[in-house]
């Protein structure tokens, strides 16, 4: 719990947000009241936020304003050509390099709130600069409506950064679990993949906290075993989480289920957009699917759905990679104005594990 007698907040706090969810996973979009972030690039700004203003993340993600599994984004001025907005993602442990569910929500938000000057029908392109690179979202757009009417189906698809299989069949020892091997794949963030049978849980019947603990144990084992690298930046080279799947990786028209656990045992309510991207790359490079073959991913937490497919072969440094397209739906849930009273030390943010 936060109990410091000296507040890290030097000025009056009043922060406005728009609240959305994508396939059940929350997104808190910070619209005003957040400090200016210094830096030339988005990765510089991410570092600056982590070093100087991490207390704002805790204020907005933690209780009493958020919860253990809250997710948020602060918008920044992009620094790459083709981007309409820049996004730095935050969660219960820190800062993501990519977030597909947030991209889906931000695509719709950007169209509805004027970040794209000339929206087009039936789809409007939105360039979103994420810490991992430029991601293109395509938002179903129906002109003539008000904020929450534009794209009222909520449908958005995005094309992510080049994604690749980093390590296949990695042997790991996970104390307390029967895991023998895992795969590690990149979809804007690095994930370990393991089947539910290999960790002794059932995605649709085991308590979600048991699934989260199993995934966290796998993540810790992989971190101790594997040195991760990325051709573009060392800031991208870390294991973000573990995705437990039902093992149905071979191409099928039926849905395949998974649960993504990232950060500090944080459970994604959606099928996980960057996770679906990484899983498509894994399936493609292990020969389970071909270009253009669409898979349906089901969240083991909520039953919500994303679609995904590999659409183009590319390279990423020394890796053979694919561009992956992921689709889902996002909806508005409300708005907030948050404040902090000077004597409220618990209001700085706390988590009950």
pLDDT digits 0-9 by tens, 163-206: 999 999 999 999 999 988 999 999 999 999 999 999 999 998 99
Same domain, yes or no, for 208 and 235? yes
Same domain, yes or no, for 237 and 155? no
pLDDT digits 0-9 by tens, 318-332: 999 999 999 999 999
pLDDT at site 146: 47
According to DSSP, residue 87 is labeled: E
Does 271 map to a domain? Answer: yes
Residue-number span of the structural domain to which 45 is assigned: 14-160+332-339
Does 9 map to a domain? Answer: no
What mean pLDDT is predicted for residues 84-93?
A: 98
Annotated catalytic residue within 99, 130, 132, 272: 99
Same domain, yes or no, for 194 and 261? yes
Evaluate whether 99 touches 273 at the Cβ level (below 8 Å).
yes
**Domain holding 94: CATH number?**
3.10.310.10
Same domain, yes or no, for 143 and 196? no
Same domain, yes or no, for 97 and 178? no
Query: Does residue 148 carry a pLDDT above 60?
Result: no
Same domain, yes or no, for 240 and 313? yes
* C-alpha distances out from residue 131 to 39, 85, 144, 270, Å: 13, 12, 33, 21
The number of CA neighbours under 13 Å toward the Cβ of 170 is 25
Same domain, yes or no, for 228 and 189? yes
| Number of independent structural domains in the chain | 2
For 160-196, b where at least 16 C-beta lie within 10 A, e where not — what string? bbbbbbbbeebebebeebebeebbbbbbbbbbbbbbb
pLDDT at site 195: 97
Same domain, yes or no, for 168 and 312? yes
Does 345 map to a domain? Answer: no
Q: Angle, nearest 10°, between helix axes 100-112 and 273-285?
A: 130
Does 353 map to a domain? Answer: no
Evaluate whether 339 touches 352 at the Cβ level (below 8 Å).
no
pTM: 0.95
* C-alpha distances out from residue 70 to 10, 19, 122, 239, 306, Å: 25, 11, 32, 20, 20
The percent of residues in the chain predicted with pLDDT above 90, rounded, is 91
pLDDT at site 147: 47
Does 346 map to a domain? Answer: no
Token pair belonging to 73? 């984004």
In the beta sheet, which residues pair with residue 281? Answer: none
Same domain, yes or no, for 238 and 315? yes
Same domain, yes or no, for 79 and 177? no
Same domain, yes or no, for 189 and 153? no
Query: Does residue 3 carry a pLDDT above 60?
Result: no
Does 255 map to a domain? Answer: yes
Does 2 map to a domain? Answer: no
> Does residue 148 have an active-site annotation?
no
Same domain, yes or no, for 125 and 184? no
pLDDT at site 151: 47
Sign of CA dihedral 95, 93, 185, 312: negative
């Amino acid at each position: 719990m936060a109990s410091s007698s000296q507040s890290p907040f030097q000025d009056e706090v009043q922060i406005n947000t728009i609240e959305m969810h994508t396939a059940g996973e929350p997104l808190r979009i910070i619209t005003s009241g957040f400090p200016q972030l210094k830096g030339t690039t988005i990765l510089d700004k991410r570092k600056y936020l982590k070093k100087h203003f991490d207390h704002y993340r805790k204020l907005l993600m933690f209780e009493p304003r958020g919860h253990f599994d809250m997710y948020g984004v602060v918008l920044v001025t992009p620094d790459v050509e083709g981007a309409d907005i820049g996004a730095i993602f935050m969660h219960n442990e820190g800062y993501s390099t990519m977030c597909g569910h947030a991209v889906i929500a931000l695509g719709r938000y950007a169209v509805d709130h004027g970040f794209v000057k000339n929206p087009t029908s039936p789809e409007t392109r939105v360039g979103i600069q994420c810490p991992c690179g430029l991601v293109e979202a395509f938002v179903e757009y129906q002109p003539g409506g008000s904020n929450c009417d534009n794209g009222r189906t909520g449908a958005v698809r995005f094309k992510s950064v080049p994604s690749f299989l980093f390590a296949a069949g990695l042997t790991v020892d996970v104390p307390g679990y029967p895991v023998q091997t895992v795969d590690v794949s990149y979809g804007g963030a690095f994930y370990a993949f393991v089947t539910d049978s290999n960790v002794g849980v059932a995605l649709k019947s085991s308590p979600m906290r048991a699934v989260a603990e199993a995934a966290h144990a796998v993540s810790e084992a992989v971190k101790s075993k594997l040195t991760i690298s990325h051709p573009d930046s060392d800031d991208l080279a870390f294991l973000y989480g573990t995705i437990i799947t039902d093992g149905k990786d071979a191409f099928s028209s039926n849905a395949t289920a998974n649960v993504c656990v990232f950060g500090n045992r944080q459970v994604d309510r959606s099928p996980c957009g960057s996770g679906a991207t990484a899983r498509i790359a894994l399936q493609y490079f292990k020969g389970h699917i071909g270009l253009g073959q669409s898979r349906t991913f089901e969240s083991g937490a909520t039953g919500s759905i994303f679609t995904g497919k590999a659409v183009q072969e590319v390279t990423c440094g020394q890796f053979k990679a694919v561009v992956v397209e992921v689709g889902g739906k996002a909806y508005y849930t409300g708005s907030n104005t948050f404040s902090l009273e000077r004597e409220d030390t618990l209001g700085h943010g706390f988590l009950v594990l």
